[in-house]
Structure 1
């Protein structure tokens, strides 16, 4: 399963960088395009929604054509897209070229001889469900939470239920989501946590970014520099946090990081490590797809929820006669409740993790297979 680490390292920073660049540009897009906040938020939601609908599909295509081949193809398209778009995405190009070179140098080309099936019905059901739910949540305030919005949300919930039912009927035919994954308590807990963290990140960063530019008058570059340290620190120390989780158990590292989110952004890095720790190799592709999909769903839900909360509270504050700066500051205090509540739930999820179990050493008589280990070495280490 170690071969998945370079793929995760390539996807995580790239996705965070791209999404972060779009968030920083939101105030400029609003003024330049004359768009409202809920319209501009579709830049973030549309990206996360498309990604969440395709990640599980891509994981299955990776099983079919090889994860390295698929990852390199996606990385190439992503890098080329940075050349033909606004300058805020130009940073994708040098990082993409470096990541592409490392992909062929470091990532092994692993393929299975077994034929794989592609679940097109599952892809369509999940994509439609996500779109209906995201559109309903994000556009609810703009449409005054009318009957049409509630019909759309109900349709999304129905489609999601239909997707799960469809998956239950395909468990013996390569489903998009193998339910066997959720028998592992750590995987279930970490998949829930990664979604909650994504909601909290949007709930914290998006309003704060708008405050920096709309109220304090900082430029997009200065606001980006204010927000950059947390991402840079997380990317830099992530591998070390993963090793620390290996040594003392991810439960305690993650609990500390979630409880001290502001000062401890570093400590939530080993989520993927803990999620994948006990996953069987033959389910690794699906497990990675599910985990990353939930992460993007969290971004979609976070953008929709914070957008609705921000617009509703700001309108209420402005209606009292307050200036924009005073009204937005009061709104910022209210929207902070969302990430705080989500992080409390995340801390509770961390308590579900199993403590790290160290395999007991085998007796000396059993520890020396033919041509193998020194006397007294655990059999598990001698293989």
Structure 2
């Protein structure tokens, strides 16, 4: 197994030589990474708004057009495991610039797509670039910041990660309605060119690349394994349960991932360095990230659909009404990063989770007549305050412990975990919602949302249907709340000292 990197947070000496204040040089590096992140994250959300338009444009079905998003997700999941090795082999600056160029090329070609087949192919190209951008960007920021500043600089990266899902529907809806669906892809060009210019100008020159051998067999096991697992899990809501189209790819993917894990413990230089998990603090941080990803991505799936179905809003209106969540996060995210660097992430993440749970508790008791400004907006704002205090400190709690090549490997691991468990959370909450609607309207699970939507559109049935749908959402929010409470368990064990302080469990 690859050698385990030392826990750089386990002794005061590890802070020596690392600056603790945010300077202009670090802000320039952060600007390059944030610009690329904004482009990639916005793209994933604005495309969703355009799916119905693309069905009409390409004269295809919903099942087929879903591959516009599914192909992107699978390409992204396939390339993430390779990023750690590629960062060491070619350098993070070169890799990040390559990812930007790849994403830009995919964006331009997707905007020029002439049928659904070409659109899916070009989305795969985008996904390959997008899958590199986030872990490579995290690696660049973590190395540039050092352990004493990683919490604060990760909080800067967290702003586009959170605002993307909120601003995306608003921007996407406006572009589709007022300009053209092609501009949801062309929009990436100016942002991407700015990101590429900043990358070439401000990112530090790469050190001499390592010659670590590429784990070809590991790649052939892990990359398709992760993609198959995510595909199977993500299929649960569409399939209406665990059907053959769900469990066959998921089981095959799980077998490949398990095979990779067994093999990685026995070979030199595996694609994913499982030796990092010998570090107790890293393991606790990744465990917290796993449970948080399940709960957070589940919440982010169900909140927009609540405003669409129960409140009867358009996608654009729903995006606007979700803005208090983003505003709450903007308030706490910079402060949370600073506190995580000063007092340790454990003292920041736990209160953040309590805030998220408190805000979600509001949605477990709302009805069709609940006021937006008096009930819903305050609840969203409190959830946002909690998300701002939780999301990036959880990630930085893992990465701030690492140095050297371990940073790229740790970033790759964190991104795989976030993608995989985020897909699980989205699927779990979606199937709870779909099963609840099916039960309320006495139809198969796969037809629950369709029948509920039709009932809400019928003036004669809308009143009764609205009560049933609203009750289903309160049950689903209760499930989301329970998942967030469970996240408190591993969060209590996150280290509660600054990165340079000696604490229990550091070895």
User: TM-score interval w.r.t. the shorter chain?
Assistant: 0.7 to 0.9
Residue 285 of structure 1: how far off its partner (Å): 0.9
For the residue of structure 2 that corresponds to 1:355, the secondary structure is coil
Q: Is the CA contact 1:59–1:289 (under 8 Å) kept in the aligned structure 2?
A: yes
Deviates more, 1:174-183 or 1:41-50: 41-50
Match of 1:106 in 2: 202
**Cα offsets for 1:226-273 (capped at 9, x unmatched):** 334544664686454322211121111111112212132210232232
Q: Given the alignment of the two structures, is residue 193 of structure 1 paired with residue 288 of structure 2, yes or no? A: yes
**What's the counterpart of residue 377 of structure 1?**
none
SS at match of 1:134: helix
Counterpart residue number, 2:223: 127
CA drift of 1:164 comes to 0.5
In 2, Cα distance between equivalents of 1:315 and 1:196: 27
- 1:108-164 deviation per Cα after TM superposition (whole angstroms, max 9, x unaligned): 122334312222222221233234333433434627534674444433332221010
- Residue of structure 2 equivalent to 1:218: 313
Maintained 8 Å contact 1:258/1:347: yes
Residue 43 of structure 2 corresponds to residue 18 of structure 1: yes
How many residues were matched structurally? 357
Whether 2:175 is the aligned partner of 1:175: answer no
Moved more, 160-169 or 112-121: 112-121
Distance between the aligned counterparts of 2:328 and 2:72, measured in 1?
A: 24
- Structure 2 CA distance for partners of 1:221 and 1:352, relative to 1, 3 Å: same
1:68-147 matches, within 5 Å, as: 68-83=93-108, 84-85=110-111, 86-140=182-236, 142=239, 145-146=242-243
Does the aligned pair in 2 maintain the 1:136–1:150 contact within 8 Å? yes
Q: Does 1:329 align with 2:426?
A: no
Show CA shifts across 1:275-302 (max 9, x none).
1111131211111111112111123223
Which residue of structure 1 aligns with residue 482 of structure 2? Answer: 341
Q: Is the 8 A contact 2:290 2:417 kept in 1?
A: yes
Cα distance in 1, alignment partners of residues 398 and 32 from structure 2: 15
User: Secondary structure of the residue that 1:264 maps to in structure 2?
Assistant: helix
The separation in 2 between residues aligned to 1:350 and 1:234, in whole angstroms, is: 19
- How far apart, CA to CA, are the structure 2 residues paired with 1:16 and 1:197? 19
Alignment-derived partner of residue 437 in structure 2: 314
66, 74, 86: which one pairs with 1:49? 74
* Contact map agreement 2:276 2:282 (CA 8 A) in 1: yes
Q: Once the two structures are superposed, what CA deviation does each residue of 1:162-215 show, in whole Å capped at 9, x if it has no partner?
A: 010121122x2x212212211223322232333333332331222222232344
- Cα distance between partner residues in 2 of 1:226 and 1:152: 37
Question: Structure 2 CA distance, aligned partners of 1:233 and 1:12?
Answer: 20
| Post-superposition CA distance 1:295-334 (Å, at most 9, x none) | 1112322333233333222222222897445243232222
Distance 2:64 2:440 in 1: 21
Change in CA separation of 1:313 and 1:27 when aligned onto 2, cut-off 3 Å: farther
Kindly indicate whether residue 262 of structure 2 is the aligned counterpart of residue 165 of structure 1. yes
Aligned partner of 1:351 among 488, 492, 501: 492
Matched, 1:265 2:406: no
Matched, 1:154 2:244: no
- Kept after mapping to 2: 8 A contact 1:66/1:111: yes
1:350 to partner: Cα distance: 1.3
User: 1:26–1:304: structure 2 CA closer, same or farther, 3 Å change rule?
Assistant: farther
- TM-score normalised to the size of structure 2? 0.61
| 1:100 to 1:130, Cα distance in 2 relative to 1, 3 A | same
Mapping 1:372-383, distance limit 5 Å: none
Of 263, 288, 292, 2:411 maps to 288
Q: Which has the higher contact order (CA 8 A, sep 6+)?
A: 2
SS in structure 1 at match of 2:497: coil
Gaps of 5+ in 2: 1-17, 20-25, 112-181, 357-382, 444-450, 457-464, 502-507
Q: CA deviation at 1:62?
A: 1.7
Which has the higher mean CA deviation after the structures are superposed, 264-273 or 26-35? Answer: 26-35
Root-mean-square deviation over aligned CA pairs: 3.4
